[in-house]
A and B are shown apart, each in its own frame.
Chain A
C-alpha cells in the first residue's frame, strides 16, 4: 500500500486513503441528489395535503407520495449511511477501504435499483406507496428495483465488517473500535437483519407480481415487511446517534463521560430496537396479545432505555469538553459559549432536542397498544416519524455534512452565513410541520388521505374546525423546511463544485 495514496486532512488530522475517500464522496453525492428529488416530492405532497391549496390530482398525489417515501426515507438516508460505513470503517481507523471494488458493486446496485424504482413510479406503474401492501400490485420492475437497492445496501453493510477485520490486522485499531465506528457497527448489524427481512419479503412479492407465485399472505407480508420498513428506521437511529458522538468529538473535543455506558446503550439497540417493528401490527387482529406485549411493552423499552442513556451522555460530553476549555462560570457559561455559529454543532443539538421531544417521546406513547388503537393510521403517526427521521436523522446528517465536505472533499463550505442559519431554518420548519401533523391527527385526520373534505362522497363528514389551524401549521412549517432543504442542497453541491480548496499536508 503506497503512502502516496494517503493524505492527511489538515482540519481533522485524519489520515485518508483515496479508495475510502472516493467511496464516501460518491455515496454522499448520491445521497444529496436523492434528497433533492425526495424534497421536491415532499413539497408537492405537502401542497396537496394542505386543504387550502390541494395542488395535485388524485393519481399524481399517490404517485409522488410513493416517490417521496422511497427517495427521502430510503435512498437519501441509506446512501448517507453507506458513506458513513466507509468513513467509520476506513477513514476514522486511518486505513484504506479493503476490497474497494465491493464498495463500488454495492454503490452500483443501489444506484441502478434506485433509478429503476424512480423510473417505474414516475411512469405510473407502481402507485403502491412505500409499504406496497399486498394485494396491491405494482410493476415487477418496481420490486426488482427494491431488491437491487436492498442487496446493494446489504453488501455495503457487509463491507463494514470486512474493513474492520482487515483494519485490525493492519493495526488500524488494537482492541476496541472507536465509539463512532462501534455505533456504525451496531447500525450495520441492524442493517443486515433489516435487509435480510427485505429479501425475505420482496423476493416472493416479485415472483407474485410475475404471476409465478399465486398469492402472498397479507398478514405474513405485513409482519416481514415491517422487519424491513421499521427496522430500516432503526439503522437511522443508530447511525444518527453515532453522528452525534462523532460531531461532539470533532467540533468541541467531547468524549463520553462513561464510554462503557455508551457502548452498553448501543448493544441494547443491537438486541432490542428491531422489535419496535411490532408498532405497525398493534391493531392487527391476527397476532396474539403476548406477541404484541413482549415485542413492544417489554423488549422495546430496553431500546428506549438506550436512547435515554445517549440523550444524557452526549450533551454531558459537550458540557465537559466546553468546561475544560475554560467556560466554567456559573451553570450555563459552557452553553452560552458553545460554537452555535458552526452548523455542524448547532445542527446536532437541534437534532438531539427535536428527536427526543418530538420523535422519541411520541414514538414511545404511540407504540403502546392502548394508544395505538386511537392513533394508528392518523396523521399523528406521520407527525411522529417526521419527528424521528426528518427532525432527528436528516438534520443530524445535514449537520455532519458540514464536517464531511471539508474533511473528505477537501473543500471549504460556501455561503458560511447561510450555512449557519440552515439547520435552524430546517429545524423550525420540521418541528412546526410535525406538531401540526400530530395535532391534526389527534382530531382524527387520517394519514395518506388525498382529500379530507371528502368532496363527492355520498355521506358528508366534517372534522373539528381546529384542524384548519393545525393543517396550516403543517403547511407553513413544511414550506420553511423545504426552503431549509433547498439551502442545504445548494450549499452542499455548491461547496463541492465551487468551494475553495483546503491546503493539504
Chain B
C-alpha cells in the first residue's frame, strides 16, 4: 500500500496529496462556503411574513 519514491523530484500532484493539512483546510472551507454559509445567507434573506393586524 506504500508509494514512497526514494529518488528524483516528487511530482506536484503527490506533494499536494501528501500535504494533509492543506487537504484539511480545503476539505473544511469548500463545503462550509458552498453549502453552509451560502445556505445561511439565503435563509437570512428570506423576507419575513408581514403581520396583518
Contacts and interface: CB of A to CB of B under 8 A. Distances in A.
A189 interface: yes
Nearest to B36: A227
Interface in B19-39: 20-21, 23-24, 26-28, 30-32, 34-36, 38-39
Interface residues of B, number: 29
Contacts of B42: 286-288, 291
B43 A176 contact: no
Interface centre among B5, B20, B42 (most CB of A within 10 A): B20
B39 A176 contact: no
Chain B binding surface SS class: helix
B53 interface: no
Interface string A154-175: 0000000100100000000111
Nearest to A181: B1
A190 interface: yes
Contact of A175 (B1, B18, B21): B18
B1 A255 contact: yes
A176 B4 contact: yes
B13 interface: yes
A361 interface: no
A271 B30 CA distance: 6
Contacts of B35: 223, 227, 274-275, 277-278, 295
A175 B43 contact: no
Contacts of B13: 260
Interface in A207-224: 217, 219-220, 223-224
Contacts of A173: 2, 4
Interface in A133-186: 161, 164, 173-180, 182, 185-186
Contact of B1 (A179, A274, A277): A179
A176 B23 contact: no
Contacts of B38: 291
B40 interface: yes
Contact of A299 (B1, B21, B34, B46): B34
B11 to A, nearest CB: 9
Contact of B20 (A185, A196, A220, A255): A185
B27 A190 contact: yes
Contacts of A264: 17
Interface of B: 1-5, 10, 13-14, 17-18, 20-21, 23-24, 26-28, 30-32, 34-36, 38-40, 42-43, 46
Interface of A: 161, 164, 173-180, 182, 185-186, 189-190, 192-193, 196-197, 217, 219-220, 223-224, 227, 231, 245-246, 249, 255-256, 259-260, 263-264, 267, 270-272, 274-275, 277-278, 281, 286-288, 291, 294-295, 299
Given A176-B14, A260-B14, 11 more contacts: A161-B21, A173-B4, A193-B32, A197-B36, A227-B31, A231-B31, A256-B1, A267-B23, A286-B42, A291-B39, A295-B35
